[in-house]
Structure 1
Amino acid sequence: MSKLRINEIQIANYRSFGNKLQTITFPNENYKRPVTIVGYNNAGKTNLLNAILIGLTSKYVGKETFSLDDFHNRFLANKISISSTLDSSTETTVNGREVNLTGEFFLEMQVDETEILSAKMNSENSISSGAIKYYKIFYVNFHEIKKELSIKKTSWGNLTSFLAKFIKSSITSDPNIIDKRISFNKKMKNLSDEMISESLLIDFIDRIKGNYSKNLRDNACVIEFGLPEYEDIFLEMIFKVGLNGDRENLIPIENFGDGYISMFVMSIIQTIAETNTDDKCVFIFEEPESFLHENHQEYFYKKVLCELTEKGHQVIYTTHSHKMIDIFDTRGLIRLEFDEGSKQSVVAFNNYNCDFNKKMKEEFSLDEIADYNNYIKIIEPNLNKIIFSKKVLLVEGPNDLMVYKQLI
């Protein structure tokens, strides 16, 4: 069983974060709710998510990782500082070596006046590079939802989407699939040879071979025309969907609208959580409400995000939607603001010890605090919007509220 959790991250001089060190602390594993990052545009939410991915060591870090744009105010003298504190299980590698990501990680960077000389994530523990592959991190950018369903490799041979990485890890660790490799390759080779034998295609391939050998000065080269490598075949497969029970006209999922695709990705996330009951994963989402109707936003929050955390996974996400938060639980709330005076992102709220529900229960002595929460939401459905406001105006009654809304 693998387990990974980020406990704290510190950032300075990274993009919108300036030289004043910002510390974000996350609730411990006993907190079974998602962590919400809110803030206006340009507050630094995406920059924080990128820093978290670097701090989790899920991103390869080298001098090519960063450019001048990653330095605060695009000034190389503002050396980037990212450090994280992680908690993990101890996992055994293929060669029998144990890895453990528990501890503090920090970015080591060397720059001169004109360029980045080196950059890497380091730790006080002697942890081998690539140890993160033994733990499960899933990052989904809902702004580019169609890319998250792409499971093909890039031109550099890398996998970028969370789905591709999950499929790759599944087929390389499943003994049933591994054991079928030889027989599968043999069957597919025989089948493809049978299909193209005595065809125009085989003549075409033979002519290519003859010309290529001649170009190589009569080198006795061998050319085969066939399927991709065994593991890569799975990355060429695509999901097809027939709505309303239509089995005759299955449509590739990427041909649907972004809203439908978002809900399909939702199903994949739920399935990953269901099939990793022994593992404690980290899920990081960028604005999951993108392309979703507000009714589906509330469903996504309650039935996906909250249920993931109830299973013990850590969920961190950014949002602009008041449907994606619970105003009565502020322990998992992180609010960022862009300070106009210092021209940098700052943490405006990160009170992970503030149990508002507990305080309310002690003060009001209600038998069921949930009933009170629901009552408040019924009488003032816009209460959640307070979280997204810079200033809040309190009025006495509904008539005053209508007057002030009209004036504003």
Structure 2
Amino acid sequence: MVLKNCLQIEGLIMHVSKLVVKGYRSLANVEVCFNPGINVIVGKNNAGKSNIIRALNLILGERHPLYVRFGNRDFHNDGSNSADELIIAVRLDGSFEAEIPPGRRIKVLELDSSFTPSWDEDCIEILTDESLSVKNAYKYPSEVLKDIKNSTEKWIFLHTKRGDSTNNHGLIYKKNGDWCKIPLRNEIRDLLITTAYVPSYRDPEKMLKITEYSWYGKLIKQIYEKGLRVHEREIRKIQKQHSDKINEIFHEASEELRKRLGRAIFHHKISFKPGPYTKDDEHKSITLFVNDGLDTPYYDKGSGIQSALVIALFTYYCECFHKGSSLLLLEEPENYLHPQGRRALEGELLRFVKENGNGERQIILSTHSPEFLRSVNLTSLVRVHKKLGSTASEIHQIKNVDDDTRRKFRQIMMKKSAEMFFADGVILVEGGEEYIIPQLFDVFARETRWLDSFNVSAIRVDGKGFFKIYTNILSKFNIWWKILTDLDFIYSGIKDFSDFLSDEDILLIDKISSEVNTYVNEYIKDLSDENQKKREKRKRRKEKLQMIVSENQNVGELIDKLKEHGIFILKRGELEDYFTDEAKNLDRRKDRRALEIALRIGGLDEFDLNRWFVDIDEFKNLFEAVKSRIVNAVGGEYVD
């Protein structure tokens, strides 16, 4: 977007760093951390993603919290009892540079020295009972704003009880060790952070409603008033010509009405006029049109266009007229967009957060689409989950990561593995198993899309070195996992999982490595060609490992032990060692061969698999383990 004739705004970025919610819908008691830039919330339908976005909008959105009304459905219900009160609190971090115009003085309450923003009963009692305050004072807005700028911690809160006609709300800040509370005035809140909200159900007339307090209303008014200073004389002339024409058109009707009403209301003049032409409201008659081959109002366009339009307008407003920090809340931005459109919109979001020269703006969005995870940081990803039978949402996120994890996570997202964050369980594989496992499991279960029906994904990691990083991330997001890997895992990958290996296991693994290395070196010591040496090394390593498995009972026991921890090893070697000759001849390339086999086994009976596989036991063992995990997850008996 090219911005011309914009005001130059200098300021630093304020952002939402934490959200605490108690008693609101599925958010019985949650705490969510956010970062500057893009934050993405994922989870299944009805997990509570939208409730997080809505809670933020309730306290930071265009509508002041004083005027928000809550019904019975807004209070958390666990199935037998409902919450009697709800709390929404947002912590703001960062700094800002902004001035506030003169206004009436603000009542500042100094809270009891024992106060902490713990958001428990004691905290709420102090915030809602002014008699518990230490002292109060009245300060001018500029003084209050200066105190807020210099504060070390800031919260905006909203509290209400079931049946209350008003809400308790305010802003608290910590200065010189003391906590102070002020009423939440719009002008102060908007200087701290301005919020735009795009819900999953698009109501264009509400999203872009021109009012005194909406960001869109402010944008249109400021653009109009800026232009009016230059063109007012010409506009007034055109308005008068328009009014004269309207009078001419309605003259006959006006005269007839005057005659008919004259006996009742004397001889008052009647006229029809365009408008309003009142200076304060002229901008409210402006409607945005979009010409995509048909020049019609924006609200007649598709929801995808409307979403992109809101983002573009909010970006323009932030660049040109808004002096504070900016927050964009989006529910399911992928709605109504084709895949390329989703990726293009993700690009627009990236530009939005980065276009401000003083730091990243903030976006918090919920989604079912992997496209919006491609650029997110691991610490900015939030997974929302509900346990079976529970009405309460649980929050899972990673707050601290090392540089290596951060780098590998970026690689994971580039490999299109983002689907795993939407799953309840994941089967991690090395290569062509990603095609074959879903089809094999359909055969074993005698169902279609069996893994999908239980929200389980087969994800390719492309190398044993990535298994541990995947499992660490999945575990922290409370997503269960299984691994299917080649035999050489016990040579080159197993030590990454040393947390459940005994000292004896480590000694055995070291012995295996030593034997394999000795065996391999005998075959490659006289080779000079590096490519030939590499091929021979891989061949002889697998050969020696197969010999060790067949001869050493302890190795077999170790492989069985790994199954208990979710790691399944292909004892024959690798996936290709389980194919029949007919299967191997389908294609020379491994991936294409696996894909061809996957296509052929779809819809087969289990006894027909012997045409393509010499052995299916390892795959069947994995299937049984996954089925058992699913049974535990759904809390009942699996029906075959």
Normalising by structure 1, what TM-score? 0.76
Q: Is the 8 A contact 2:255 2:270 kept in 1?
A: no
**Are the structure 2 counterparts of residues 210 and 282 from structure 1 closer, same or farther at C-alpha, using a change threshold of 3 Å?**
farther
Q: Is the aligned partner of 1:334 residue 2:341? A: no
1:377 positional shift: 6.0
Distance 1:57 1:255 in 2: 25
- Which residue pairs with 1:195 in the alignment? 245
Distance 1:39 1:69 in 2: 21
1:338 positional shift: 1.7
- Which residue pairs with 1:168 in the alignment? 218
- Identical pairs, percent: 19
**Are the structure 2 counterparts of residues 51 and 213 from structure 1 closer, same or farther at C-alpha, using a change threshold of 3 Å?**
farther
Distance 2:243 2:67 in 1: 47
Distance 2:348 2:387 in 1: 33
- 3-state SS of 1:392 partner: strand
1:404 positional shift: 3.5
- 3-state SS of 1:359 partner: helix
List runs of 5+ in structure 2 lacking aligned partners. 1-8, 104-140, 173-180, 442-450, 452-640
1:183 positional shift: 3.8
Distance 1:293 1:204 in 2: 52
Distance 2:344 2:331 in 1: 17
Q: Which of 359, 365, 368 is residue 317 of structure 1 equivalent to? A: 365
**Are the structure 2 counterparts of residues 196 and 69 from structure 1 closer, same or farther at C-alpha, using a change threshold of 3 Å?**
same
Distance 1:68 1:224 in 2: 47
1:257 positional shift: 3.2
**Larger displacement relative to structure 2 (171-180 or 71-80):** 171-180
Q: Equivalent residues in 2 for 1:49-198 (5 A)?
A: 49-56=53-60, 58-62=62-66, 65-73=69-77, 77-87=83-93, 89=96, 91-95=98-102, 97-98=141-142, 100=145, 103-111=154-162, 115-124=163-172, 125-127=181-183, 129-131=185-187, 132-134=189-191, 135-144=193-202, 146-147=204-205, 150-151=208-209, 165-172=215-222, 176-177=226-227, 179=229, 183=233, 186-197=236-247
List runs of 5+ in structure 1 lacking aligned partners. 362-368
Q: Is the 8 A contact 2:158 2:169 kept in 1?
A: yes
- Which residue pairs with 2:424 in the alignment? 390
**Are the structure 2 counterparts of residues 274 and 317 from structure 1 closer, same or farther at C-alpha, using a change threshold of 3 Å?**
same
- 3-state SS of 1:118 partner: coil
Q: Equivalent residues in 2 for 1:256-271 (5 A)?
A: 256-271=301-316
Q: Is the 8 A contact 2:382 2:397 kept in 1?
A: yes
Q: Which of 393, 396, 400 is residue 353 of structure 1 equivalent to? A: 400
- Which residue pairs with 1:366 in the alignment? none
Distance 1:193 1:401 in 2: 71
Q: Is the aligned partner of 1:282 residue 2:327? A: yes
1:345 positional shift: 1.0
Q: Which of 307, 314, 336 is residue 351 of structure 2 equivalent to? A: 307
- Which residue pairs with 1:25 in the alignment? 33
Q: Is the 8 A contact 1:171 1:178 kept in 2?
A: no
Q: Is the 8 A contact 2:18 2:31 kept in 1?
A: yes
**Are the structure 2 counterparts of residues 204 and 13 from structure 1 closer, same or farther at C-alpha, using a change threshold of 3 Å?**
same
Distance 1:278 1:91 in 2: 6
- 3-state SS of 2:436 partner: helix
1:17 positional shift: 1.4
Distance 2:434 2:83 in 1: 53
Q: Equivalent residues in 2 for 1:34-45 (5 A)?
A: 34-45=38-49
Distance 1:140 1:384 in 2: 24
Distance 2:171 2:239 in 1: 47
The amino acid that maps onto 1:129 is: R
- Give the structure with higher Rg (CA): 2
**Larger displacement relative to structure 2 (269-278 or 291-300):** 269-278
Distance 2:232 2:70 in 1: 42
1:233 positional shift: 3.6
The amino acid that maps onto 1:26 is: F
- 3-state SS of 2:166 partner: strand
- 3-state SS of 2:325 partner: coil
- 3-state SS of 1:394 partner: strand
Distance 2:217 2:66 in 1: 26
Q: Is the 8 A contact 2:21 2:88 kept in 1?
A: yes
1:321 positional shift: 0.3
- Which residue pairs with 2:21 in the alignment? 11
Distance 1:321 1:171 in 2: 36
1:185 positional shift: 6.8
1:203 positional shift: 3.2
Aligned length: 370
1:327 positional shift: 7.7
Q: Equivalent residues in 2 for 1:206-221 (5 A)?
A: 206-208=255-257, 214-215=263-264, 217-218=265-266
1:51 positional shift: 0.9
Q: Which structure dedicates a bigger proportion of its chain to helix?
A: 2
- 3-state SS of 1:386 partner: helix
Normalising by structure 2, what TM-score? 0.51
Distance 1:241 1:400 in 2: 44
Q: Is the 8 A contact 1:240 1:251 kept in 2?
A: yes
Q: Is the 8 A contact 1:213 1:220 kept in 2?
A: yes
- 3-state SS of 1:65 partner: coil
**Larger displacement relative to structure 2 (316-325 or 174-183):** 174-183
Q: Is the 8 A contact 2:352 2:361 kept in 1?
A: yes
Q: Is the 8 A contact 2:44 2:385 kept in 1?
A: yes
**Are the structure 2 counterparts of residues 76 and 214 from structure 1 closer, same or farther at C-alpha, using a change threshold of 3 Å?**
farther
C-alpha RMSD over aligned residues: 3.6
Distance 1:331 1:51 in 2: 21
**Are the structure 2 counterparts of residues 309 and 263 from structure 1 closer, same or farther at C-alpha, using a change threshold of 3 Å?**
closer
Distance 1:116 1:126 in 2: 21
Q: Is the 8 A contact 2:199 2:331 kept in 1?
A: yes
Highest RCO, 1 vs 2 (Cα 8 Å, sep ≥ 6): 1
- 3-state SS of 1:194 partner: helix
Q: Is the 8 A contact 1:145 1:261 kept in 2?
A: no
Q: Is the 8 A contact 1:37 1:335 kept in 2?
A: yes
